[in-house]
Amino acid sequence: MHYSQIANYINNGGFEDKYNCSWPNADYKAKYWRGLDSINGGFGLASICYSNVPYNGFGFQFPKEKTTYQLGSFFCQPPSCSPTLNRGFLRNRMKGTLIAGKVYCVKYYVCISDLSSYGISNFGAYFGANSSLDTITKGNIPITYLTPQVENLTTNIITDTLNWSMITGTFVANGTENNCVLGNFKSDAATTKTLINASSLPSIFTDVCIDNVSCIPIDLPAYAGPDVFGIPGNTVYLGRPQDVGIDEACLWYNLTNTTTPIANAAGITLTVAAITQTYLVKQDICGNIKYDTVVVYASAVSINNVTLSEAEAWFKVFPNPANEILNVELKMINEELSIQNLLFIIYNSLGQVIKKEKLEFKNNTATITTKELPNGVYTLQIKTEYGTLNKKIVIER
C-alpha cells in the first residue's frame, strides 16, 4: 500500500479550492462542485476570501475548519418559493470511480442557517454515474427519483444553528459511482420538519451550511509511511497527504515518549530528534480501527564509526507475524557488539510497556515468548550500545 492510494474520494471536500478569489473577477464556486442544474443549483460559497464569513447573509457561521463552506437551500415550500426553483443539490465530480463490492464510509457536516424557519432531518448523499443525473429538468426541484445510499435518520431532526452536526453512514458500491450528490431527496410532504424560528414565518424554508465532505473505503489500511533516516534537527513528513475526512480519522502518538496523542491528521511534519523515535497512527474509519507504525532513525547517532542503521542490519526478527514465539537472531557482523547486556521492550499500540527483559542469546539466537500477548500490532525495541533499534511486530493466531 502506498500513500497515493485514494483515501477520500470526494474532490475538494472542504471547499477550500476555489476558481477565483480575486476581485473584480471573483467566482463564487468551489472546484469540482456544481449544482445539479450545472450552474449553481441553489448553493453559494461562503468564504473569508469573499468577506461573507462569518456573516453569510443568512446568519452567522464560521467554517468547521479553515476558511470556506457551502450554503444553500434544502427545503423551501411554496408559496414561499417557486414550485420549479425551491431546492439546491450539490454535485461533486469524484477523484475516481468507486470499487464494486467495497464498503465506503461517508460523512459531511451541516448547520442550519439562523434565518431558517424550520429544522429538518432529511439529509442524504447519493452516489452514481454521471449519466444517472438529470441536470436539465430536475435541477432545482425535489429529486425523489434518486434514492440516497446514505441518509440521516428521520427522527434526527437537525435544529442547531451554531454547531456543526455530522451526517454519516456506510454503503456498498456497485462500481459505477463517480459522482456524489448532497441534498434533501424527499418531497415537500415527506420532509420531516420542526419550527425553530417563528420570526421567519410565514416563509417555510431551511437553508443549510455544509462543510467537510468525505467518502473513504472502510477497509483503508492505516499508513504511517516507510521508516526514515534523518539528521537531528531536520524535518520529515510521515503518513498520507492531509485531506478532509481522513485527517479527523487519524491520531498520532510518539511511542518513545508519551501515550498522549501528538497530532490529529493523516500526515504530520516533525523535527528529527537526537535519538531514534517510533510513531504510531491510529485510524478510525466509521468504527473500523487500524494501526501503523513508523520509525524515525537519528542517523547521526554512532559510536566507533558504527551507525544505528548498520547496527539494525545485525538483527533478524522472525517469524513476523508471530504466534507464541518470536526469535531474535544476531548476525555477527562486528565483533565489537556486546550481546551480554542487551535489553528488549515490547510496547502495545498505545505505547504501554507490555514486556521488558534481557535478551538471552544461545548460538546467536534469543527467544521471546509472546503467547500471552493478544493479537495486534506491537513495537519491539532492542537497546544496544549504539542506540535503540525498533521493529514493528504483529501477533496473529
Contacts (Cβ under 8 Å, ≥6 apart) of 19 = 27, 29, 30, 31
- Mean pLDDT, the chain, rounded, equals 85
Same domain, yes or no: 138 and 26? yes
pLDDT of 358 reads 87
Residue 164: inside a domain: yes
For residue 241, being part of any structural domain is answered with: yes
Phi, psi of 132 (to 5 degrees): -85, 0
Are residues 108 and 257 both part of a single domain?
no
Q: Which three three-digit cell numbers place residue 70?
A: 457551502
Q: Are strands 315-318 and 325-330 parallel, antiparallel or unpaired?
A: antiparallel
pTM exceeds cut of 0.85? no
Are 150 and 166 found together in one domain? yes
Q: Which residues are within 8 A (CB) of 312 and not within 5 positions of it... i.e. 6 or more apart? A: 297, 389
Q: Cα dihedral sign for 139, 145, 150, 152?
A: positive
Same domain, 273 and 252: yes
Write out pLDDT tens, residues 236-269: 999 999 999 999 999 999 987 767 899 999 999 9
Query: Are residues 207 and 86 located together in one domain of the fold?
Result: yes
DSSP of 205-221, one letter per residue?
EEEEEEEEEEEEETTPP
Q: How confident is the model at residue 312 (pLDDT cuts 50, 70, 90)?
A: low
CATH number at 131 reads 2.60.120.260
Query: Does 68 share its domain with 122?
Result: yes
Query: Domain limits at 96?
Result: 18-217
**How many distinct structural domains can be found in the chain?**
3
CB distance 126 to 147 below 8 Å: yes
CA distance 63 to 54: 8
Pair (124, 28) in one structural domain: yes
Q: Is residue 12 part of a domain?
A: no
Residue 252: which CATH number? 2.60.40.10
Report the pLDDT value the prediction gives residue 391, as an integer from 0 to 100.
80
Domain boundary among 217, 232, 257: 217
pLDDT, tens only, 367-385: 999 999 998 888 888 876 6
372 occurs within a structural domain: yes
Least confident span in 71-80, 92-101, 110-119? 71-80
Residue 303: band (very low, low, confident or very high) from pLDDT cuts 50, 70, 90: very low
Question: Does 237 map to a domain?
Answer: yes
> Of 182, 217, 252, which residue is a domain's last?
217
Q: What is the pLDDT of residues 57-69, one digit of tens each?
A: 889 999 999 999 9
Q: What share of the chain is helix, strand, coil (3-state, %, to 5)?
A: 5, 45, 50
* 246: DSSP letter: H
Among the candidates 273, 299, 325, a domain finishes at 299
Asked if residue 8 belongs to a domain, the reply is no
- Please check whether residues 227 and 213 belong to one and the same domain: no
